[in-house]
Amino acid sequence: MRQGYKRSLRNLKSQAALEFLTTYGWAFLVILIMISALAYFGILRPSRLLPDRCTFGPEMECQDFQISKTANTIKVRLKNNVGEPVNINSITASTESATALSCTTSPTVSGVWTPGEAKDLTWSGCNSDAVGFVITDKSKAIIRVSYYEVKSGSAYAHDVNGEIFGTVV
């Protein structure tokens, strides 16, 4: 009689453990389904939570920016923080898309760019659809400015890389 009592007690313990694990398994499955639904409907899109930003090296200060799909343009206002007058060799824009960003018009900065002066740079006629710009979504553009100080000459060129991460209008 004692043997049967031990056997039924052991069965009760293993049944309780199995029910415990099954209940937690179902709860875990429901949580995974809820998270998947939130992600599917775009509520958990991390890029929506990130703020718009424009970052450059200390040599150039980004004062304003815009990525526009409706106008097919990328605009940025940069301020010369080099502390010396500079000449611009080239200014390029690109994206992280598999398709290369190509614009019909790129900005040109002619003449000397004095310290503290801000310049508006605009790329127009860009292939916004091909690179994946979507209105109200966040996108990234990478800007590269190659310059040299007037007093040093073009043999001493420097590059500044910047990034625009903003909501496409």
Looking at the predicted structure, is the pLDDT value of residue 130 above 70? yes
- Residue 17: give the domain boundaries: 2-44
Nearest to 73 by CA among 139, 4, 6: 139
Looking at the predicted structure, is the pLDDT value of residue 122 above 60? yes
The pLDDT of residue 4 is: 56
162 forms beta bridges with: 143
On whether both 121 and 135 belong to a single domain, the answer is yes
On whether both 40 and 54 belong to a single domain, the answer is no
Nearest to 141 by CA among 118, 104, 167, 105: 167
- Tell which wins on pLDDT, 111 or 70: 70
Q: How confident is the model at residue 158 (pLDDT cuts 50, 70, 90)?
A: very high
On whether both 33 and 65 belong to a single domain, the answer is no
On whether both 91 and 55 belong to a single domain, the answer is yes
What's the whole-model pTM score? 0.72
Of 3-17, 44-58, 111-125, least confident by mean pLDDT is 3-17
Do 67 and 113 touch, CB atoms closer than 8 A?
A: no
